[in-house]
Amino acid sequence: MPEKIENMDNVSKKIIEDAQNEAGKIIESARKNAAEIIEDANAKRERKLKSAEIEAQSLYKKSYDLEISKAKSAMEQEILMQKIELVNSLLNKSVSKIVSDYSPEYEKFLEKTLKNLNITGGSYQIGKSEQFITDNIVKKIAGSLKLSRQQQEPDFDHGIKIFDGKKEFSISAETLIITKIDDIRIELAQFLFEKE
């Protein structure tokens, strides 16, 4: 029997040894699998972080570009408004200067315009604030036209209005400038800002 016990001990030892070897192999395999899983997870995490970083940079650049674009647009709008104000201010000063400074050219302009109306007679009114057109100047520029002054109060400030039946003609430097204002603005803006 002792031999049987010894064989049993040897078999038991062998089983235990085989079980320990198998357990070692399983543990080693589990460690390898765990290392591979951890390595794979770390690689996935790095890829996701890199992708998120690229996306964040892209979003930041888009947001940055959008804000820069908005700022540039606002500045360009402000500059444009200042240019428009400058052009309008110059036009207003020019009209005031033309209206307030009587010159022979202004008288020639009135005479030429009156002749171009192709009327034979009628009546006229002089603007409430008109400083240079007088009854004498009207008679001078009218020539052979028979024009009489209307007695009612005028409803305009500058220049002269000629009435021929149902037709009404307004003649003044302001009227001329207003009819050409868009062309004048364009030419003035080109002259002032052509280098931009």
- For residue 123, the domain's CATH number is 3.30.2320.30
CB-based burial label for 164 (10 Å; 0-12, 13-18, 19+): middle
Of residues 109 and 69, more confidently modeled: 69
Of residues 89 and 193, more confidently modeled: 89
Chain segment 15-53, per-residue pLDDT in tens: 888 778 887 888 888 888 888 888 988 999 999 989 989
The amino acid present at 3, given as its one-letter code, is E
Most confident of 5-9, 38-42, 140-144, 191-195: 38-42
- 72 and 6 assigned to the same domain: yes
Of residues 177 and 168, more confidently modeled: 168
* 160-164/121-126 β-pairing: antiparallel
Domain count, the chain: 2
- 116 and 152 assigned to the same domain: yes
The amino acid present at 44, given as its one-letter code, is K
Beta carbons of 196 and 182 less than 8 angstroms apart: no
**Structure confidence at residue 2 (pLDDT):** 62
**3-state DSSP helix/strand/coil percent for the chain, to nearest 5?**
70, 10, 20
| The pLDDT of residue 84 is above 80 | yes
* Max CA distance (Å), the chain: 163
Residue 184's closest CA among 195, 170, 174, 169?
Answer: 174
Instruction: Examine residue 95 and state whether it is found in any structural domain, yes or no.
Output: no
Query: Which domain does 54 fall in, by range?
Result: 1-77
Rg (CA), the chain: 49
* Alpha carbon distance 126, 194 (integer Å): 40
| The pLDDT of residue 97 is above 70 | yes
* Residue 153 DSSP code: P
**Structure confidence at residue 147 (pLDDT):** 84
| The pLDDT of residue 1 is above 60 | no
Q: What is the mean pLDDT of the chain?
A: 82
CA 59 to chain centre: 24
**Structure confidence at residue 70 (pLDDT):** 94
Beta carbons of 161 and 152 less than 8 angstroms apart: no
Minimum mean pLDDT range among 49-53, 77-81, 83-87, 113-117 = 113-117
| The pLDDT of residue 176 is above 70 | yes
Residue where a domain stops, chosen among 62, 77, 92 = 77
Instruction: Examine residue 164 and state whether it is found in any structural domain, yes or no.
Output: yes
